[in-house]
Structure 1
Amino acid sequence: MTNTIEAPRSPARPARKRGTNWEKWGWIYMRASGVVLIVLIFGHLFMNLIVGDGVSAIDFGFVAGKWADPFWQWWDVLMLWLALIHGANGMRTIVNDYTNPGTVQKVLKGALFAAAAVLIVLGTLVVFTFDPCPPVAADAADLLPSFCSA
């Protein structure tokens, strides 16, 4: 007496699609950006809170002085970009987990992409175009910070 097993209706493991495995690269990005963000965030906190006078020293002049140095501009922009992309990718994963493929999922992912893109663009513009001493009319000169000449 021989027992035979019927052929399965579908393969146990579907054939791998050709092309880029975006889920794998998203997973790798989350791990790598998380490690880099730890360094960037603790460096940011150390410079802003430990070095100098701590929280009481953080004001408009402190930020203006910090962003006068291109190193700190790039540090903050890198932190901004990595954090926003990291967060948007995490939210994309949650959308994938809790919604069915279709219109709702596409709309939510599109909204995530749009929000992240707008915040990245606006944040980058703020950091690189920040001018603590903008030109003002003579009657508004008293609104300038003390370190700006009228």
Structure 2
Amino acid sequence: MTTIEAPRTPARPVRKGTNWEKWGWIYMRASGFVLVILIFGHLLINLVLGDGVKQIDFAFVAGKYATPFWQVWDLLMLWLALIHGGNGMRTLVNDYAHNRTLNLILKWAIAAAVVVLVVLGTLVIFTFDPCPVGAHAADLPTFCTAK
């Protein structure tokens, strides 16, 4: 006698633990929504209000990074965009790199690139000083007093 399994019976046993694909999917939707707000706010402040693109120079950036609000705004934009993009690239690698070794190498390369860029970008945001101590007066921007 042959037994036919009931429809919708899983082919593999159901795994216990964290469903990383589900959380990656949720992250992509949530970060995409927040990124739209952050990016349009960034474009509005930098390009639409004021003198448009003509206002963007070293002094403009220095003025923005003098306030914690813009540091956090740019930090959120940096982290969300890089992790969002890295997760998207990971999905593409999973879809198209069928060789297990190549798949692993590509995902590690993506993760390494995201980590390096997040660390460097975070350092730039929080260590940016338009008037470094000990710099020659001729090398300083016009709004810095000679130290």
* TM-score normalised to structure 2 length: 0.91
Dislocated runs of 4+, deviation >2 Å: 4-8, 11-15
One-letter code aligned to 2:142: S
Alpha-carbon offset, residue 48 of structure 1? 0.6
Query: Where does the alignment leave 5 or more consecutive residues of structure 2 unmatched?
Result: none
One-letter code aligned to 1:143: D
Distance in structure 2 (CA, Å) of the matches to 1:101 and 1:19: 25
Matched with 1:41 is 39
Alpha-carbon offset, residue 12 of structure 1? 5.0
Alpha-carbon offset, residue 27 of structure 1? 0.3
> Structure 1 residues 27-36 or 95-104, which shifts more?
95-104
Among candidates 136, 140, 144, match of residue 144 of structure 1: 140
- Superposed, 1:126-145 pairs within 5 Å as 126-137=124-135, 140-145=136-141
SS state of the match for residue 74, structure 2? Answer: helix
SS state of the match for residue 134, structure 2? Answer: coil
One-letter code aligned to 2:62: A
Distance in structure 2 (CA, Å) of the matches to 1:16 and 1:101: 25
Distance in structure 2 (CA, Å) of the matches to 1:31 and 1:128: 28
- Larger Rg over CA atoms: 1
Distance in structure 1 (CA, Å) of the matches to 2:99 and 2:3: 32
Alpha-carbon offset, residue 136 of structure 1? 3.2
Distance in structure 2 (CA, Å) of the matches to 1:48 and 1:13: 54
SS state of the match for residue 18, structure 2? Answer: coil
Distance in structure 2 (CA, Å) of the matches to 1:43 and 1:30: 20
- Superposed, 1:20-99 pairs within 5 Å as 20-99=18-97
One-letter code aligned to 1:18: K
Query: Where does the alignment leave 5 or more consecutive residues of structure 1 unmatched?
Result: none
Alpha-carbon offset, residue 15 of structure 1? 2.5
Deviation per CA, 1:3-61, whole angstroms, max 9, x where unpaired?
A: x86646xx654332100000000000000000000000000000111121110000000
Distance in structure 2 (CA, Å) of the matches to 1:136 and 1:56: 30
